[in-house]
Amino acid sequence: MSKTIEIEGVSIGPGHSVFTIAEIGSNHGQSKETVKKLIDHSVEAGFDAIKFQIYDAEQVFSKDVLTSDVGLDNLYGVKPWWEVARDVILMPRDWFGEMFAYVRSKGKIPLCAIHRVEDAEFLLQYDLPAFKIASIDLNYMRLLEQLVPYEKPFIVSTGMAYLSEIDETMRFLKSHNADVTLLHCVSQYPAKPSEMNLNNLKLFQQAFNVPVGLSDHSTGVVSSVVSVGLGASVVEKHITLDKNSPGPDHPFSIEPPEMHQLIKAIRDAECSLGRAERVLSEKELAARKMVRRSVVASKSIKKGDLLTLDNVKFARPGSGIPANEFKYMINRPVSSEVDAEALLTWEDVE
């Protein structure tokens, strides 16, 4: 497997800019206007990709599962969950062509979570560039077996998975030479800071040698930004126009002002990380000359007098002999008279 993958010409992996995904998911309210507003806000904030959700609710859920079983009866009453998903949660299939085109018209990349090969085939007509595998399908090997022949990159979320399950999936994808990005994910909505366990990013890098990232279900932007410092090459975050809108995902999603805050913080974070080598900037080199200590005469010193701690001090600016080099000067005579407060030079020492 490669440490770098490409999605529509964008390189993802160590050494490249963090790839940011705005997850619309179910936060569209089945309103085209809302979908396009969310896309517009994502573009303005600077996200790289906008992600949608597609599945056949009748196939994905048992018809015996009720809204009360998934803790959403307070929003929708007690009803079959698959019907609510079909009628309220899912973006209509006939919108996808239009929305993919709208995303691309803004210079961004459209993505979608894939739960059935039929949905992959449906979206490939709109040039779906990669397969996002949600946490619930990480160990759904039948789906992965159906998708690998298309030779698309995979972005795989790992929520709820044991390391052994992640390893099995990665071995399978590796055996098919698939390009994979592995996302740490906590399947709680929202996930508390104490549940985030972001050091899993290091674990994944060491164990699987692929680009890693974070699918962030926490509130706010802190976890996403911290993940960059731990090596995340991808950050995925749910977005909304209003956290108070009815729906399961709005409360832990970020609104437009936070979208801007997130992207700026991510870019500042990756810029701040710099390189793993010690290089001083020109400004820092200039600061050394001003604020470091030099060997300075604390009083007038006559020719032939010995330099001691009684007639020197260590003071700014730092453009003279560094204080730590006084050990080579102590108890040596000066070659000519030195005025008080003068920076000593090697020419002053016999």
pLDDT at 1 (0 to 100): 55
**CA 34 – CA 24 distance, rounded (Å):** 10
pLDDT at 248 (0 to 100): 87
Give a yes or no: residue 128 inside a domain.
yes
pTM, rounded to two decimals: 0.87
Give a yes or no: residue 70 inside a domain.
no
Residues 168-212 have pLDDT tens digits of: 999 999 999 999 999 999 999 999 999 999 999 999 999 999 999
pLDDT at 2 (0 to 100): 60
* Over residues 42-62, mean pLDDT: 94
Closest residue by Cα to residue 173 from 134, 208, 203, 128: 208
**Residue-range definition of the domain harbouring residue 38:** 16-55+90-273
Among 256, 273, 290, the domain-final residue is 273
Q: Are residues 144 and 244 in the same domain?
A: yes
Domain count, the chain: 2
222 pLDDT higher than 80? yes
Q: Are residues 301 and 254 in the same domain?
A: no
Give a yes or no: residue 343 inside a domain.
yes
Residues 288-339 have pLDDT tens digits of: 899 999 999 999 999 999 999 999 999 999 999 999 999 999 999 999 999 9
Give a yes or no: residue 5 inside a domain.
no
For 220-271, give the DSSP string.
Answer: SSHHHHHHHHTT-SEEEEEB-S-TTSSSSSGGGSB-HHHHHHHHHHHHHHHH
245 pLDDT higher than 80? yes
pLDDT at 118 (0 to 100): 97
pLDDT at 241 (0 to 100): 98
Q: What is the chain's mean pLDDT, rounded?
A: 95
Give a yes or no: residue 103 inside a domain.
yes
Residues 134-178 have pLDDT tens digits of: 999 999 999 999 999 999 999 999 999 999 999 999 999 999 999
